[in-house]
Structure 1
Amino acid sequence: MPSHMNVEAQPERPRSRLVWIVPLAILGVLVAAYAIGAAVFSTRFLPGTTLDGQDVSLMTLDAVAAQKADDLAGFQTHVSGDGVDLSLTGAEIGLAYDGDAYARDALRQAPAWAWPYELARTRSISAEAPVVYDRDAIVALVQPFVDAASQKEAEAAGSGIAYDPVSGTFTYEASIIAQFLDPEAAADAIGAGLEALEPEILLGPDQLVSGGDALDAATAAANAYLGAAPTQLTVNGQAVLELGRDTIASWVSIGDDLSVSLNQEALSQWVADNVGALDTAGRERTYTRADGKQVSVSGGSYGLVTNEDETVTALAGALAAGAPSTLEIPLKQSPQTAPDAGGRDWGNRYVDIDLSEQHVRMYDDAGALVWESDCVTGDASKGYDTPTGVYTMNQNRASGNVELRGKIDPETNEPEYISYVEYWMPFIGNSYALHDASWRGSFGGTIYQWNGSHGCVNLPTGKAAELYGLCQVGDVVVVHY
């Protein structure tokens, strides 16, 4: 008897799931293909694209940009007007199309998102191509013409700005104001012509500026120096010179480039002629001695000596400040008093050596005669004259067995003489002095003409002792006839 087995029935797989798999796969492929195409044609031109008459099918943005940028390499233009005559090439001013902007503008006209539709079509498009150039290069090429015009104006202006002694100011005539090229305005005009690719570019009135500002600045700078008037120059606080506008104006120099400065050579010459004239050391001075004798004396180391170099520097600084001031003249050597009308610049106290009288006097601070004596001075017959001039008793002053030595005799190689004195009062180095001469029996008269000293002033020993006790280092000594 056959046996029966129970077999469980298998469920059927849904047929609807299989139906959707294939379409979805196809859709995925299509989406991927579309995305790839959109990505490709976002940086590359579609097939069948003509740009401004040139086939750019499948060309990249960079390739189209580079190709367009090179189109102006041979461009030339000519610039004229306002004194300019200039030929420009595209190469020297960096003239080119903005290829990137041009390519991007063109690509936007064939959108990448529509590439499936656009593949079946051809298209002819046109795009804007902005022009770019090196503006600084244009300014540099124009600058020589600007400089030439400015130089021409400056030359006219330099001779046109002048000092007016009536008003006491520097002025200029309005007729000398010139107009010349403004390099920035010229660069703007040339740039506009280049953007339009004009073969001829003409400059006109809009590119000119007035030169009056430069003239005004130069005139103001010159007048600033005049602001220092009046400037007083003093010696030991006493006014000796005064600078007015006319004098200061003679030192102001205006260059061809409208630069304003002090003429150092003219200033130095004025100082030499005027400040230097105040010097008294070595120059002739006239005074009346207490006993009424009129004395004129030249030479010597004592007196006023101005420092001309430092005065020039100080004056230049005072004038640059542009305000009235008082300037103490720098000195190399200062006298006891300011010079009087005759040039005497020492006080009442001094030692007077009268060579013609062969007599020495000393006056005190009140001008009273406190000491006097006959003397013997340098032997005139042998060329040992005592030097005339105004001196001071110096620090070599000494007493007590002071040795004096004469010149070395070339034959014996020994001093011409050796002698000793008790009171040594030098006034020229350590060579010429008042001193005692115990070897002499008489003084005064005409002894000096045939038996004088070697240049010193010989005194009786007692009188020398008295004078030594009265005089001191710094006392003025006047030697005269």
Structure 2
Amino acid sequence: MEDLKEKNQSADTGDYSIDSETASLISAAIAGKKEAAAKARLRHKKKIIIIASVAAVAALAAIYFGGWAASMGKFLPNTYINGADVSKKNISEAAALVQAECVPKGITVIERNGEEKVFSPSDFDYSYDVFGEIGEIYRSVSHSGWLFSYFNESYYETETKPSYDETKLKRLLTRTSWGSTATEDAKLVHGENGYYIKDEVYGDKPDEKKLAEYVLSEAAKGNFTVDLEEGGCYEDPKIFAADLEGNLDDLNNKFNYVITYDFGYTTEELTGAMVYEWMQDGGTIDRSKVEKYVDSLAEKYDTFMTARKFKTTNRGEITMSQGRYSTGQYGWWTDREKTVEKLLEYIDKGESVTVEPVYVQLDTGYTYRGFDSARSADGDIGNTYIEVDLSAQHMWYYQNGELKFETGQIVSGKASDPKRKTPEGVYSVYTKSTNYTMRAADGSYTAKCAYFMRISFEGIGFHDLSRSAYGGNIYLTNGSHGCINMKKDEVKTLYEMVERGTPVIMYY
């Protein structure tokens, strides 16, 4: 039994091995099959990728060209014109939007004090038409790049200028109230307790010419909020309180006085602060500055040898010349040199005084100063005067505006003789005499009168003279030597009423 068992075991362990060549062929066959399977799978994958790619490209192309087609006729996304967003707007819509954005609700003008004034565009015909230019911008857009517009912004500015009526805008600006406070420099002011500094003032009243020019220029640029301060439309102070602080003690110690010039109806004050400005190095006064000040007073207040407006009794308003003679005429005439010398004396004393200018005085004692009560801002004749209409041979005397005397019974100088014709002009009654003897300058005649009122150094005056007739046209061929002849009782009445210095206005 054991032999049989061993024999069977020996049969189960037979030799099944193959040779190496056969094994290699088998391995190669297996590897080939695997490689073929892999290549087949790769070819299949590539086919899928190609099909997918083609499909994707076709889809993208469809999207791109579809988007391109859809963008036509409109502005691309992220497009701005003059700051207005015109994305996906057609030309008309974009133009309307830009115009709406660029035509303001009003032009706002900001004043120095922060107040604002708004002017409606319709008040000066403001308009802004950019339709044509919007069309030009649209035609410059490349719609093939529509896709990139989602990632990039495009900005355009039109070149069209707004249209408006400049004359209307200028009129609108000039008729508007622009503040009431003028700019002032800081100044040294004299008060009850001496000098003090008055601070500078930044006025709110602009230069209206600069204002109009600035607003117009800004409107032309399309700027609708205009700041007048930035535009330089205000005048700033040139002298500030800090600039004057160093002078205050000197003024209060040495120049604490006021010299007042009295002109009857008004005064002019020369303060120590003003004199302080005339000081030169070394502490002396600049005489030229004193002369300039006196000249300014004379030019402002002198009336001698000036033309005047005068309202006549019967002939309305006329303009009167001074008259043909230069001596003895009416009005105020400053002796500038003597006034300068007196002013230097007042400054040297350093005291407050009220004085008059020194008026020109002749060797005869006549002083060129008018009738004190007649002086005013409106003239120097006043409402007390003698009026003579030489053509009508009529005389009036007004006292404080009330007619006190009149006569048509006078005879003036012989009009047909230039040497004897009474000269028209503005004179004054500067002497009054009774029982007076008149003598011609050439000694050709003498005449006595009871009453004589001289109005010029050449001898012209009012006096009585016995005549057979007065008034009318007697003066044309049988007039006086230049005086005004009157009846004795009438000249007596006038003589007793009229003061010396009374203005006399004579005209043809």
The two structures share one fold, judged by TM-score above 0.5: no
Normalising to structure 2: TM-score of the pair?
0.41
Structure of larger gyration radius: 2
Normalising to structure 1: TM-score of the pair?
0.43
